[in-house]
Amino acid sequence: MIRDPELLNQLVDTISRFVRERLIPNEVRLAEEDAVPPELLQEMKEMGLFGLSIPEEYGGLGLTMEEEALVAIEIGKTSPAFRSVFGTNNGIGAQGILIDGTPEQKAQYVPRLATGELLSSFCLTEPDSGSDAASLRTTAVRDGDHYVLNGTKRYITNGPEADLFTVMARTDPSNKGAGGISAFIVEGDTPGLKRGPSDDKMGQKGAHTCDIIFEDCRVPAENIIGGKEGQGFKTAMKVLDRGRLHISAVCVGVAERLVEESLNYAIDRKQFGVRLADHQLIQAMLADSKTEAYAGRTMVLDAAQRKDAGEKVSTLASCCKLFCAEMVGRVADRAVQVHGGAGYMAEYAVERFYRDVRLFRIYEGTTQIQQLVIARDMVREVS
Ligand SMILES: Cc1cc2nc3c(=O)[nH]c(=O)nc-3n(C[C@H](O)[C@H](O)[C@H](O)COP(=O)(O)OP(=O)(O)OC[C@H]3O[C@@H](n4cnc5c(N)ncnc54)[C@H](O)[C@@H]3O)c2cc1C
């Protein structure tokens, strides 16, 4: 749903200009320094990017899902690590509190998340529980007016820097499945919360992950999200529904950027006396990538509109994540191919994007998990 087309166009134009004029020129610096330049972080905060999908009453821009998807497509046209910092805040870091938090929890944390004063993270994955997230082992044991957390969370985006963590932990040891899990808000400076060293990743340099280790970490009982035990896994799944649409939109943006990079290169370079773009086998790659990026855009916007209309879109969100993450992988592969040897060289953006996009098929539910979710929902619907 687009509430005010003129206002949204202005926002998308502003973001598009910011991407073109400020972020794209700093992509190499981002990768080389493995950090978002501080002045760009400040500009992102001033533009409201940390509060895109946070309701206006908490100081965010309160975008609908369709509006957020259109913005995420624009942001996708530059290195995904730029998005990772604020996307995590708007998305998996804040949504648990927003969707299921008590009014007091929302009032205490969400306004500061919306401005970027607080940076947040989402802690679900563990060393022995990834795709099978419901088997997680981190424990939270009630002790008076606190819970005591013990366990390790793995590959946590924003982990090295975050001020606030949404942590899924088992409060009922007799229930080994989803029903035994609760979600907690844990402040980054709580004694007993430790951060492992930053992971050395394949791509998306500038976005950081690390282990988050809880050793007798005492969290106030009022920090259990929604005030009730046993709801945490459901909260995590609701958060991921929205996150999957957001990530799908980012994949579309990256794919559109790669189509543009491929086309420009194919027009500039000549082989056998003609432009690469005049060779039909190159044209086939360009056409396939353009078509797939368009298909991704169309399906993400359709699912987003349905979500705004109140439809339950878990299955469609998984369809989008499955298609768009795989699609951008194919588009990146073709982009390298169109560039030939240059595509293998760090000097060209496509080499970096080729590594960056690999992650989309893995996090927020792997491709195989999306397939399982879609098929499970299909079978459940008819039976
Ligand atoms: C850079 C990065 C950032 C991340 N950020 C976060 C974060 O902020 N918060 C967080 O909680 N997690 C985060 N993750 C973790 C991510 O969500 C998990 O890595 C992902 O869910 C997969 O889990 P796993 O790595 O344990 O792989 P596994 O679950 O061990 O899967 C290995 C392979 O087996 C397949 N597989 C597993 N089960 C099945 C099955 N039943 N049927 C068929 N195939 C199956 C998988 O698809 C995959 O191909 C991040 C990961 C990375 C790499």
The mean predicted confidence, pLDDT, of the chain is 96
| Pocket of ligand 1 contains residue 138 by CB under 6 Å | no
360: CB partners within 8 A, 6+ apart: 247, 250, 251, 324, 325, 328, 329
Q: Which two tokens stand for residue 11?
A: 């926002």
What is residue 252's predicted lDDT score, i.e. its pLDDT? 98
Which residue shows structure tokens 């990530």? 247
| Pocket of ligand 1 contains residue 156 by CB under 6 Å | yes
CA distances from 319 to 72, 292, 315 (A): 18, 14, 6
For the segment 264-312, what is each residue's pLDDT rounded down to a tens digit? 999 999 999 999 999 999 999 999 999 999 999 999 999 999 999 999 9
DSSP-derived pairing of the beta strands 120-123 and 164-170: parallel
What is residue 330's predicted lDDT score, i.e. its pLDDT? 98
User: Which of the listed residues 153, 200, 362, 370 should we mutate to test ligand 1's pocket, taking the one with most ligand atoms within 8 A of CB?
Assistant: 362
CA–CA separation, 144 and 141 (whole Å): 10
Ligand 1 atom at minimum distance from 168 CA = 11
83-106 average pLDDT score: 90
Query: What is the rounded radius of gyration, in angstroms, for the C-alpha atoms of the chain?
Result: 21
Find the range with the poorest average confidence among 83-92, 148-157, 199-208, 229-238: 83-92
Strand ranges, E, within 38-145: 120-123, 139-143
Task: Reply yes or no on whether 364 is catalytic.
Answer: yes
Res 327 pLDDT > 90: yes
What is residue 128's predicted lDDT score, i.e. its pLDDT? 97
| Pocket of ligand 1 contains residue 91 by CB under 6 Å | no
Model confidence band, residue 203 (pLDDT cutoffs 50, 70, 90) = very high
What is residue 266's predicted lDDT score, i.e. its pLDDT? 98
pTM of the model: 0.97
CA–CA separation, 333 and 338 (whole Å): 9
| Pocket of ligand 1 contains residue 294 by CB under 6 Å | no
Q: Cβ(195)–Cβ(213) under 8 Å?
A: yes
Find the range with the poorest average confidence among 83-97, 157-171, 301-315, 350-364: 83-97
Crossing angle (nearest 10°) for helices 367-382 and 314-339: 150
Ligand 1 atom at minimum distance from 369 CA = 47
Output the DSSP codes for 246-300.
Answer: HHHHHHHHHHHHHHHHHHHHHHH-EETTEEGGGSHHHHHHHHHHHHHHHHHHHHH
CA–CA separation, 18 and 247 (whole Å): 20
| Pocket of ligand 1 contains residue 89 by CB under 6 Å | no
Ligand 1 center–CA 369 separation, angstroms:
9
- Which residue in 6, 229, 364, 381 is the catalytic one? 364
Q: Cβ(98)–Cβ(55) under 8 Å?
A: yes
What is residue 81's predicted lDDT score, i.e. its pLDDT? 97
| Pocket of ligand 1 contains residue 370 by CB under 6 Å | no
User: Which of the listed residues 85, 119, 131 should we mutate to test ligand 1's pocket, taking the one with most ligand atoms within 8 A of CB?
Assistant: 131
234-243 average pLDDT score: 90
Res 89 pLDDT > 90: no
User: Which of the listed residues 129, 152, 154, 155 should we mutate to test ligand 1's pocket, taking the one with most ligand atoms within 8 A of CB?
Assistant: 155
| Pocket of ligand 1 contains residue 362 by CB under 6 Å | yes
For the segment 39-62, what is each residue's pLDDT rounded down to a tens digit? 999 999 999 999 998 999 999 999
Taking CA atoms only, the protein residue closest to ligand 1 atom 27 is 130
Collapsing DSSP states into helix, strand and coil, what is residue 122? strand
Res 90 pLDDT > 90: no
Ligand 1 atom at minimum distance from 153 CA = 11
What is residue 165's predicted lDDT score, i.e. its pLDDT? 97
What is residue 189's predicted lDDT score, i.e. its pLDDT? 98
Distance of CA 373 to the CA centre of its chain: 19
What is residue 24's predicted lDDT score, i.e. its pLDDT? 98
